[in-house]
Chain A
Amino acid sequence: MLEIKNLHARIAEDGTEIIRGLNLTVKAGEVAAIMGPNGSGKSTLSYVLSGREDYEVTEGDILYNGESILELDAAERAAKGLFLAFQYPVEIPGVATMQFLKVAMNEQRKYRGEDELSTPEFMRRVKEAAAELKIAPEMLRRPLNVGFSGGEKKRAEILQMALLEPKLCVLDETDSGLDIDALKVVADGVNALRSPDRAVVVITHYQRLLDYIVPDTVHVLYRGQVVKSGDKTLAHELEANGYADIIGAAA
């Protein structure tokens, strides 16, 4: 589903290369975990994948379902099924969460040539998904992410993911800032989306999340490259020993 080949990307403004020859393949139905020390380029990778214009791809390619998406802008990639749950969700003052959801869902439908959702149908879907994630209806009337607690923001990200039904989900440290119960709720939300035609990329620092969302593959990112890949046992090793061994070998 996702094939990243020898990807090089730099900050458009000053030319600093952050992603330096990264290779990664994620198959449909797979859950891939990406781990790695702070500043290794995990969030940057998620931005480059989703088409943020602050970064330039200088070499390599990103194939999504076998086709390069480098020429598509961020909105087009999203409409084609790529979703990023942000490490730091952004506040949109004055725009009710509900309204934002409706615009996003309908814009994506429009791009795909589908009809707009009727209001009752939209309401039904939102209510159902919000209940699953234990999100109070009042929160949906508040402006998106404005004054949301850290945990509420993360939950709102997963709500959007559930409603937009993407094919490739990238979760950037969705576990940070969540209490134990919320972590469980969010993990259940993600697990509910697991399906043979959907892939999930989980960026995290902690095994804790991977206890709930059990990955098929684990990859270690360091200095803009995948320096080691393995199965779920790799995450346990990292938890026990830290990155020193791997980084030492890579350096």
Chain B
Amino acid sequence: MPAVQETIDQVRQIDVDQYKYGFETKIEMDKAPKGLSEDIIRLISSKKNEPEWMLEWRFEAYRRWLTMEEPSWARVRYPKIDFNEIHYYAAPKGTTGPKSLDEVDPELLKVYEKLGIPLREQEILAGVEKSKIAVDAVFDSVSVVTTFKEELKKAGVIFMSISEAIREHPDLVRKYLGTVVPQSDNFYATLNSAVFTDGSFVYVPKGVRCPMELSTYFRINEKNTGQFERTLIIADEGAYVSYLEGCTAPQRDENQLHAAVVELIALDDAEIKYSTVQNWYPGDKEGKGGIYNFVTKRGDCRGKNSKISWTQVETGSAITWKYPSCILRGDGSRGEFYSIAVSNGHQQVDSGTKMIHLGKNTSSRIISKGIAAGFSDNTYRGQVSAHRKAENARNFTQCDSLLIGDKCGAHTVPYIEAKNSTAQFEHEATTSKISEDQLFYCLQRGIPEEAAIALIVNGFVKEVIQELPMEFAVEAQKLIGISLEGSVG
């Protein structure tokens, strides 16, 4: 597998602090003052030319948030966040929303070039074999450009920043926003509802198979800035869409907050495949800095025989608190969760999923692979429940942890609840270590230690990697190798 080879090359190129996306871009920014208040919310809303109903919606969330407490049940530790020390809006000067590529600040284009994100359509088209991917690039609080919009429009697919969608497709947004993750869902989701700045909006109409992969690339650049993105994806009856999400942030000593909300809605016979490669800055070797990633992602299989599949590769962030879930409402609907969570250094990961079986003959599948190295803590937290009326609910859960070294921890916390006696839930969990025998075997074949670990780990996560779109699979394998650099020896 060439990826392994590339992993090693990449690892060699990177010095002690391995995070290669840690550069900061000097761009003139338009920033809201620190702190949170109704005025700040009004400012965000006006920057985005939002209609009145949107502003009201935000206020409602804000007032509720003021009454809420930060949750403490996750197995993560961090100093109390001062929500008044954060900038809730930051945008490159002169960008209020996406434009055509020619108008985008060349400095910004350079950033995405450096990150390896293709934004120039001509160049993407020139690459013969590479399949086409439409990209929505979000820089701090705003979407700077969305590619292939015209081509998608021909197919009837709406793909734009959520800010634009609020203005251009208010009916669709109003109909679906907050219907999967209600404003009051949890502390961070409520905060997000009040202050969300940008994110992507996708609508795939009836019977349309989206002609290309859609993706959003999130970049936090500004210091002390929170990123609160909001993504809403709707697959109408019989539609299909595959969506990819990538994220990076500069290397900084201070912690930064990222609290996103993602809502997916699949109507009758529709399918949504959502893949994430999360590589936020994880902090340095001593555990200083890094992103706090508190994310609420949920999919609603609203229609019969609909399907939602989450695939995630989590390698970054100082703290990850994330449970992409599926509500299996439609009869015969299906939810899937494939996850790789890698933690090294002092990272803390508490991640998993919820599969909530409501309809008849619903099924779900959970494959979780946790890899802990260094001093990190890696928890899988999962809930599978069957409602009283959920006849014949099926779930299969497989939860494997791999430990590298003896200063890290892996934990599995499954909650299973079946209120209908016909439910069949299966759960398997394993914890293993990379054995000395495996390592020596690889070494004896001439494979050096780092490459051997990358190889063994890539074997361990193979089932999940296979679920990723091709372009992402190679990227993910590389990333896993890089994240584990320096984990032994």
Residues of A with Cβ closer than 8 Å to B? 47, 50-54, 73-75, 78-79, 83-84, 86, 89-95, 99-100, 102-104, 106-108, 111, 116, 143, 160, 164
A-B pairs with beta carbons under 8 A, tally: 84
Residue from A74, A94, A102, A106 within 8 A of B460 (CB atoms): A94
B429 to chain A, nearest CB (A): 16
15 A-B pairs with C-beta separation under 8 A: A52-B444, A74-B440, A75-B448, A84-B444, A90-B438, A92-B442, A92-B456, A94-B458, A94-B459, A94-B462, A103-B455, A104-B445, A108-B445, A116-B5, A160-B445
Residue from A84, A89, A107 within 8 A of B447 (CB atoms): A107
Residues of B with Cβ closer than 8 Å to A? 1, 4-5, 435-438, 440-449, 451, 455-456, 458-463
B456 touches A75 (CB 8 A): no
| CA A74 to CA B436, docked complex, whole Å | 13
A47 CB contacts on chain B under 8 angstroms: 440
B463 touches A92 (CB 8 A): no
A93 CB contacts on chain B under 8 angstroms: 459-460
A107 touches B441 (CB 8 A): no
A78 touches B445 (CB 8 A): yes
Knowing A95-B458, A99-B1, the reply to whether A73 touches B443 (Cβ < 8 A) is yes
A95 touches B455 (CB 8 A): yes
B456 touches A95 (CB 8 A): yes
B152 to chain A, nearest CB (A): 35
B4 CB contacts on chain A under 8 angstroms: 99, 103
| CA A116 to CA B1, docked complex, whole Å | 12
| CA A75 to CA B441, docked complex, whole Å | 10
B456 CB contacts on chain A under 8 angstroms: 92, 95
| CA A50 to CA B445, docked complex, whole Å | 10
| CA A24 to CA B462, docked complex, whole Å | 44
B448 touches A95 (CB 8 A): no
Question: Given A99-B4, A104-B445, list of 12 further CB < 8 A pairs?
Answer: A53-B440, A74-B444, A75-B446, A75-B447, A83-B444, A86-B441, A90-B441, A95-B458, A103-B447, A104-B442, A107-B451, A160-B445
Knowing A74-B444, A104-B446, A164-B446, the reply to whether A95 touches B436 (Cβ < 8 A) is no
| CA A144 to CA B142, docked complex, whole Å | 48
A164 CB contacts on chain B under 8 angstroms: 445-446
Residue from A52, A104, A107, A143 within 8 A of B440 (CB atoms): A52
